[in-house]
Chain A
Amino acid sequence: MNQSDLDTSPVRSGYSLIELAKVDKVYGTGQAAMHALRGVDLRIDAGEFVAAMGPSGSGKSTCMNILGCLDTPTAGDYHFQGVHVGKLTRDQQARLRRHYLGFIFQGFNLLNRTSALENVELPLVYRGLPAARRHARARKALEAVGLKGWEHHSPGELSGGQQQRVAIARAIVTDPIILLADEPTGNLDSATSREVMNLLTEFNRQQSITIVMVTHEPEMASYANRIIHFRDGQIFTDKKNGEERQ
C-alpha cells in the first residue's frame, strides 16, 4: 500500500480491519521501565462497536493510541487493513489517520474562539476540499449530530454535550471507517452521556462505522457489542455483549 492508495483506496476487503500481534509498549528504560502493554493480541473487524475497559494504568488508552497511529508499539506488529503500520512514515501515518480514522477525545479538543462549523470543517481543510463542499459536508455532519442552527457558535457558547457532539461531527465528517473515542463521556453528566452514546450507536449501526471506545463506566460500555477488559497491560477478558452482537 503506497501513499496514493492511502489517499484514495476505500475499505480493503480480505483483511481484518485491525490486527495487533504481540504488541508491547514500554515507557522508559532499565529500572524505571514501565510496561504499559505486554504482548497484546487483538483483532477487530469492520462494523464492531468495541468498548475497552479497565482501571487506570491498565493499558487501555495506550492500546487505543496505538490503534490510532498516534503512538508506536515498542515491539509487535500492528496491521491496519493488512498494512503494516510500523513500516509507514510519519506522513503516511498522518494520511492514514486523515482518511480512515476519526477521533473523539474526553476533553473534546475543539479549537476555541472558532465556530462549530469551522471546527467541523478542519479535517476537510487538510483534505484540500474546496470551501463550498467543505461547508456543505460540515453542515450535514452538524445536522447529523443534532446541532443544526448552532453552526456559528464557538465552543465557549456551547454546553459540554454540545461540544462533544461538535467533536463527533468533526470525527465523522470525513466518513471514516473507524471511530476512536477516548472516554467520550468522561466530562459529561449521565443524561448527556446517554445522548452521546446513542449518537455513537446510531453511527455504528446505520453507517456501519467501526467504533473503539475507551471508558471506565460500565453503563457506557453496555452500549458496545464487545467489551474488552484490560489489566496490567494485558487483555484480561474479551466478551461479546449479550445478544446485541450480530
Chain B
Amino acid sequence: MIGNALLLAVREIRRNAMRSILTILGIVIGVAAVITMVTIGEGATVQVEQQIKNMGSNMLMIMPGKRLGPGLGTSNIQFKEVDAEAIARDIPSVVAVAPVATQSVKAIFGNQNWTTQVTGSDNHYFTVTNRSIKTGRYFTEGELRGGAAVCIAGETVIKKLFSSQNPLGEKIRLQNFSCEVIGQLVAKGQSTMGSDQDDIVVIPLHTVQRRIAGNQDVGMIQLSVRQDASTEKAQKDIMALMRERRHLSPSDDDNFTVMDMKEIANMLTGTTQLLTALLSMVAAVSLLVGGIGIMNIMLVSVTERTREIGTRLAIGALEREVLMQFLVEAVVLSSLGGLLGILLAIGASLGIATVLKVPFIFNTGIIIIAFLFSAVVGILFGYFPARKAARLNPIDALRYE
C-alpha cells in the first residue's frame, strides 16, 4: 500500500512540478539554514580551540580590577612596571613577564595614515605572545630603558603605510613624535576574537608612558609559565603576591584578575557554542514555518482536487489509501525539500567557511537529524490535510464545483 501511495504521490508531485518546488522552498531554506548554522558554528568553535592552542596554554594575563557580577566591579588600580618586575623576581615558575600598555594611535607615513594599536612593552612581550621578528631586530636594553623612539611593526601596519617600500629605517609618525621602524613581526593572522593580530606597533614601554599616555601605568601584565610547571600553581602564587603588594586584607576582594588562557578558551568556545545554538534555533523556526507552508499548500491542494478525490473514491480507493497518498505526498515533498536543503547547506557552508576562513566540518549527525526532521514536518503538517481529503464523502466530492 505504501508502494502504491508512493507511486501516486510521485505522479502527483511531477504533475504539479512548479507548485511542488514552491511548496518545498520553505523546507529547503529551513534545512539549509539549520545545517549551515551548525556547520559554521562548529567550524568556529574548532578554530577558536585551535588558535588558543597556538597561543600556548601556559600564558597568564593579569589585569587590574575584577568583575564581581553584572555591572559590579572593584576599582581599577593600574599596575606599575615594578609589579611585573616583582612577579619575575618572586615567582620561580615564570619564564617571561611582559608589562603591557596599549594605546590606540594614528600612525602616519608620507601621505598615508592608519589608526593602530600601539603596544608598549619589552622584548619579553615577543616571548610571551609567541611572536618573532621577520626582518630587523628587537629592542636594545638602552632603547628600552631610555624610552627611545623606535618601533617594531606588524604586517598590516607596514602594508597600509608602506605600499612596496622597505620600511626598515624609515620614520613613521605616532601621534606627536617620529619613530624609527627597526623591525617587522612575522604575520599571525586573526585572533580568536576576530581582531587582526598584525595590526600592531610595538614600542618600548617607557616610550608609550612618556610620549603617548603621559603616566606610569601598565594596563596589563602578560606572562608565560614554564611548560613543566602548573599554571594553577603559578596563578595562585601570583594572586598571593599581588594581594600582598596591594596591601589587601583577607576580607578584601581581589582588585585584579589573573586569567588563564584555558579560562579564556572555555569562555570563548562557550560563547561560540551559545551563539551557534541560538542561531540554529532561529533557523529551526524557519523550518517550522516551512512546514506550515507545506500544510497550507496541501490544504489548498485538497480543496482544488476535491473532484479528483471523489473520482478516486468512486473507482474504489479506500479512505486510508487516500489518506496515505496525501500523507506520502507531503512527506515526499518535505523530504525532497530536506535533501535539496542539505545540498544547499553543504554549498553554503563551504562558501561561508571559505569567506570567514573557518574550517569546514562535515557533520553527518546534523544532516541526518535535519533530514529526519524535515520528514517529520511532512508527516505532522501533512496529516491534517490528508485526513480532510480521506474523510470526504464520495458524492459530495464528486459534485464539488
Query: Chain A interface (Cβ within 8 Å of chain B)?
Result: 65, 68, 70-71, 90-91, 94-95, 97-99, 101-103, 105, 107, 109, 111-114, 118, 122-123, 125-128, 170-171, 174
Which A residues touch B7, using CB under 8 A?
Answer: 125
A113 near B311 with CB under 8 A, answer no
**CB interface residues, B 327-362, toward A, < 8 Å:** none
- B318 CB contact (under 8 Å) in A65, A95, A125: A95
Cβ contacts B304-333/A at 8 Å (1 or 0 each): 000110111111111111000000000000
A125 near B394 with CB under 8 A, answer no
Q: How far is the CA of A188 from the CA of B320 in the complex (A)?
A: 35
Which B residues touch A128, using CB under 8 A?
Answer: 1, 4
17 residue pairs A–B, Cβ–Cβ below 8 Å: A68-B314, A70-B313, A70-B394, A90-B319, A95-B316, A97-B314, A103-B314, A105-B398, A109-B308, A109-B314, A112-B15, A123-B315, A126-B312, A126-B315, A126-B316, A170-B315, A171-B315
A111 and B308 in contact (CB under 8 A), knowing A105-B398, A125-B4, A128-B4?
yes
A94 near B319 with CB under 8 A, answer yes
- A109 CB contact (under 8 Å) in B8, B316, B398: B398
Which B residues touch A102, using CB under 8 A?
Answer: 315
- A122 CB contact (under 8 Å) in B1, B315, B320: B315
Chain A's closest residue to B1 (CB) is: A128
Which B residues touch A126, using CB under 8 A?
Answer: 4, 312, 315-318, 321
A109 near B395 with CB under 8 A, answer no
Q: How far is the CA of A128 from the CA of B5 in the complex (A)?
A: 10
Q: How far is the CA of A95 from the CA of B321 in the complex (A)?
A: 12
**CB interface residues, B 1-56, toward A, < 8 Å:** 1, 4, 7-8, 11, 15-16
Which A residues touch B313, using CB under 8 A?
Answer: 70, 94
Chain B's closest residue to A92 (CB) is: B318
**CB interface residues, B 361-401, toward A, < 8 Å:** 394-395, 398
**CB interface residues, B 65-123, toward A, < 8 Å:** none
Which B residues touch A94, using CB under 8 A?
Answer: 313, 316-319
A98 and B316 in contact (CB under 8 A), knowing A109-B307, A113-B15, A125-B8?
yes
B318 near A97 with CB under 8 A, answer no
B316 near A123 with CB under 8 A, answer yes
What would 17 more interface pairs be, CB under 8 Å, given A65-B395, A91-B320, A111-B308?
Answer: A68-B314, A70-B394, A70-B395, A95-B318, A97-B314, A98-B317, A101-B316, A105-B311, A109-B310, A111-B15, A112-B15, A122-B312, A123-B315, A126-B312, A126-B317, A127-B316, A174-B316
A97 near B315 with CB under 8 A, answer yes
B319 near A114 with CB under 8 A, answer no
Q: Size band of the B side of the interface?
A: 20 to 34
Which A residues touch B308, using CB under 8 A?
Answer: 109, 111
- What are the 7 A-B residue pairs with the smallest beta carbon separation, nearest first? A98-B316, A109-B311, A70-B395, A123-B315, A97-B316, A70-B394, A113-B15
Which B residues touch A112, using CB under 8 A?
Answer: 15
Chain B's closest residue to A66 (CB) is: B395
Q: How far is the CA of A112 from the CA of B314 in the complex (A)?
A: 17
**CB interface residues, B 102-147, toward A, < 8 Å:** none
Which A residues touch B395, using CB under 8 A?
Answer: 65, 70-71
Chain B's closest residue to A111 (CB) is: B308
Q: Which of B1, B16, B308, B314 has the most CB of A within 10 A?
A: B314
- B11 CB contact (under 8 Å) in A90, A118, A123, A170: A118
Which A residues touch B315, using CB under 8 A?
Answer: 97-98, 102-103, 122-123, 126, 170-171, 174
A21 to chain B, nearest CB (A): 21
- A114 CB contact (under 8 Å) in B15, B312, B318: B15
Q: How far is the CA of A160 from the CA of B395 in the complex (A)?
A: 23
Which A residues touch B312, using CB under 8 A?
Answer: 122, 126
Chain B's closest residue to A129 (CB) is: B4
Q: How far is the CA of A109 from the CA of B314 in the complex (A)?
A: 11
Q: How far is the CA of A123 from the CA of B321 in the complex (A)?
A: 12
Chain B's closest residue to A97 (CB) is: B316
B391 to chain A, nearest CB (A): 10
B318 near A91 with CB under 8 A, answer yes
Which A residues touch B4, using CB under 8 A?
Answer: 125-126, 128
B349 to chain A, nearest CB (A): 37
A96 to chain B, nearest CB (A): 8
Which A residues touch B394, using CB under 8 A?
Answer: 70-71
Which B residues touch A99, using CB under 8 A?
Answer: 316
Which B residues touch A103, using CB under 8 A?
Answer: 311, 314-315
A119 to chain B, nearest CB (A): 10
**CB interface residues, B 191-244, toward A, < 8 Å:** none
A200 to chain B, nearest CB (A): 18
Which A residues touch B314, using CB under 8 A?
Answer: 68, 70, 97, 103, 109
A102 to chain B, nearest CB (A): 8
Which B residues touch A113, using CB under 8 A?
Answer: 15-16
A91 and B319 in contact (CB under 8 A), knowing A65-B395, A111-B308?
yes
